[in-house]
Structure 1
Amino acid sequence: MEISSFLLPKDQVAYITNSISMLEALEQLEQHHYTAIPIIDNEGKYVGTLSEGDLLWKLKNTAGLTFDNIGEVPVSTIQKHVHNESVLIHAEMEDMLTLAADQNFVPVIDNEGVFIGIIRRKDIIEYYTRNITD
């Protein structure tokens, strides 16, 4: 089995660019009911993951930052506390499973680092549960 079997393609995944504001990122997390979301740059390359905690820590630790002015803060300036490592689309299943053990989702990239989708830990667990119990 190849990891592409578990791929949720980019066009079906919510993600943000690192040029949007903190407010826009918060709205994306809320809209999609996510606690973390992949970040890509202007070239489409995966650059990290933004979590709710990152937003809260930024709000707490930045003097003068309030909900009224978070629209002025670019995501690129927010320190990321969680780094979801990515996996190449042609990587071994074992590599992906190792990452999925510690991450709710594994970002998938091509050879140039371009974000092509994610693999959700939920989908992996459901697959193995079906195949173990059948």
Structure 2
Amino acid sequence: MQENVFFFLTMKKDVTFFYDDLNLEEGLCLMRKHGYTAIPVINTKGEYIGTINEGDFLWYFIDHPETTYETIKSTPIKDLIRPDFTPAMMIDATVEELFDQSLKQNFVPIVDDRNIFIGIVTRRRLLHHLMKTQKEIRRYPEEEVYVQS
């Protein structure tokens, strides 16, 4: 079977994601509730904006020591997103590109040709597939072929 990105995809409906207008307080509370350290962020059109992680909140508070509770309630999480952090890949990316990108991040956001977020591929899922494939190779090694001279 020839795998493609869709083969590894966790669909958007099964992924925890944030909308970009969520405020810092809500974002922190939801991250704690769900237990994730990084979460994809989309806008109201469904376009992938970026990924936010716990460190983004920490650096925001360090960089803005004057932050008040009112600021936390009025600052949207989109203000914390780093442009090059956890870039998305297109659904038609090759599996090799997907594996390469997964070496740099825990999950790879997947978008369509309009940048609409459709889901993620986790590094765990890719590793599980590799382990399963490796077991299959060990179970059914290629038969040796003897050539007569």
Residue equivalent to 2:24: 22
1:46-100 C-alpha deviation (Å, 9 max, x unpaired): 011101000001011113215x342222112225386111111111111111110
Letter in 2 for 1:109: V
Q: Secondary structure at the match of 1:97?
A: helix
Residue equivalent to 1:97: 99
Q: Which of 69, 73, 76 in structure 1 is aligned with 2:75?
A: 73
Do 1:86 and 1:108's aligned partners in 2 also have CA atoms closer than 8 Å? yes
Query: Within 5 Å, which residues of 2 pair with 1:19-98?
Result: 19-66=21-68, 68-69=69-70, 70-80=72-82, 83-98=85-100
Distance of 2:50 and 2:13 partners within structure 1: 18
Give the superposed CA RMSD: 1.5
Structure 1 runs, 4 residues or longer, greater than 6 Å off: none
Identity %: 29
Q: Secondary structure at the match of 1:98?
A: helix
Do 1:51 and 1:82's aligned partners in 2 also have CA atoms closer than 8 Å? no
Are 2:11 and 1:9 equivalent residues in the alignment?
yes
Query: Runs of 5+ in structure 2 lacking a partner?
Result: 137-149
TM (norm. structure 1) is 0.92
Give the number of equivalent residue pairs: 133
Letter in 1 for 2:111: I
TM (norm. structure 2) is 0.84
Distance of 2:50 and 2:79 partners within structure 1: 13
Do 1:50 and 1:82's aligned partners in 2 also have CA atoms closer than 8 Å? no
Which protein shows a greater Rg?
2
Distance of 1:128 and 1:39 partners within structure 2: 28
Distance of 1:41 and 1:79 partners within structure 2: 12
Q: Which of 119, 122, 125 in structure 2 is aligned with 1:120?
A: 122
Letter in 2 for 1:31: K
Q: CA deviation at 1:36?
A: 0.6
Q: Which of 102, 110, 131 in structure 1 is aligned with 2:133?
A: 131
